[in-house]
Amino acid sequence: MALLDVVGATVKFGGITAVNDATFSVDGGSITGLIGPNGAGKTTLFNVITGLQPATSGRVRFKGRDVTKATVNSRAKMGMARTFQRLEAFGSLTVRENIQAARDIYAGPRGWFSLARDPKIDELIETVGLHRYVDQRADSVPTGVARLLEIARALAIQPDLLLLDEPSSGLDEAETESFGELLVHLASEGRAVLMVEHDMDLVMSVCHLIHVLEFGKVIATGTPDEIRSNKKVQAAYLGFGDDDDMPVPDDIAAEAEAIVGHHVHHIDERPRPGALEFPGAEMQNEITMQIPAVGGER
């Protein structure tokens, strides 16, 4: 049985359909990619899975239980954690204090008054690779480090499912390679990772399975090799099949080249013809999942 099942998820904003009958699953101990052009509905789908966005129709099942109407907090308590595109660290706290806050809230009142040192904090710092920055304020560390801090905070609740929204943003090539190794390590412990990511080299190198969204609909599911050769995926990213003479925007071309493995003729960056930016489709919530994610009803 899959750890996570999304069945027929649909989200409509007025007359706009942001997610269209999306169905897919995520297995424990696996790394699953959720990719697609900008405006495809990836973050909206993340919001549905984590409870931040009610689905117009469809179901979400986690660990065999229907959580479609469950709160963000209850999903987090069941073992679901998430990061966001927008950095949400507590800037005035140090890196260690950020992780400590997550652990304290997860532990509940008993943890708030405990004087004992939590060994899990040092373990997370070592696992994620934050030891050089533990005493620095979170608002002073590089963007890539802040991304890793958010992952450490999410891991503080010991989740079974970790949802990462563009986690490699801000990482350089060497950091991205190390980050890929971290994802493989997390999956090897039995944890499921579901990530939205535009770095196709990373996606293709670490994901066991990839789901591709186009206009809110899952148009392809397969291994990296299967996705590379899928004509629907090429059309979704390029607007055509294998026609190298057709110019496409730079950002889409970069992703497409990583997928299909050959050069794509670039043009100046501009919105992809026909792409829609749905209200809330790539929503950045001022209310983050970090606090609910570490326990405690409001």
Decide if 166 contacts 122 (C-beta within 8 A). Answer: no
Q: Give the model's confidence band at 188: pLDDT under 50 very low, under 70 low, under 90 confident, else very high.
A: very high
Decide if 146 contacts 170 (C-beta within 8 A). Answer: yes
Mean pLDDT of 240-254: 50
- Answer yes or no: is pLDDT of 135 > 70: yes
- Answer yes or no: is pLDDT of 268 > 90: no
Size (the chain), residues: 298
Check residue 1 and give its pLDDT: 73
Tokens representing 135 are 């005493």
- Answer yes or no: is pLDDT of 248 > 50: no
- Answer yes or no: is pLDDT of 239 > 80: no
> Rounded distance, CA 267 to CA 115, Å?
59
> Rounded distance, CA 54 to CA 245, Å?
42
Q: What is the bridge-based pairing of β-strands 266-267 and 65-66?
A: unpaired
> Rounded distance, CA 197 to CA 207, Å?
11
Across 33-49, b (16+ Cβ under 10 Å) vs e yields bbbbbbbbbbbbbbbbb
Check residue 256 and give its pLDDT: 53
- Please indicate whether residue 161 or residue 258 has the higher confidence score (pLDDT): 161
Q: What is the bridge-based pairing of β-strands 248-249 and 266-267?
A: parallel
Q: Give the model's confidence band at 283: pLDDT under 50 very low, under 70 low, under 90 confident, else very high.
A: very low
> Rounded distance, CA 190 to CA 185, Å?
9
Closest listed residue to residue 47, CA positions, set 87, 8, 11? 11
Q: Give the model's confidence band at 274: pLDDT under 50 very low, under 70 low, under 90 confident, else very high.
A: very low
- Please indicate whether residue 245 or residue 113 has the higher confidence score (pLDDT): 113
Check residue 74 and give its pLDDT: 94
Check residue 119 and give its pLDDT: 85
> Rounded distance, CA 31 to CA 276, Å?
28
Check residue 89 and give its pLDDT: 84
DSSP lists the bridge partners of residue 213 as 218
Tokens representing 193 are 């990772």
Q: Return the sign of the alpha-carbon dihedral for residues 121, 151, 159, 30.
A: negative
Each residue's pLDDT tens digit, 68-126: 999 999 999 999 999 998 888 888 899 999 999 898 888 776 666 665 678 889 999 99
Each residue's pLDDT tens digit, 35-66: 998 889 999 999 999 999 999 999 999 999 99
Tokens representing 45 are 């789908």
Percent of the chain residues topping a pLDDT of 70 = 77
Check residue 108 and give its pLDDT: 74
Question: What SS3 class is residue 41?
Answer: coil
Q: Give the model's confidence band at 232: pLDDT under 50 very low, under 70 low, under 90 confident, else very high.
A: confident
Check residue 260 and give its pLDDT: 52
Helix 119-128 vs helix 95-107: crossing angle, to nearest 10: 130
C-alpha torsion angle, residues 250, 262, 33, 238 (rounded to 10): 50
- Rounded to the nearest integer, the mean pLDDT of the chain is 82
111: which residues sit within 8 A by CB, 6+ positions away?
103, 104, 105, 118
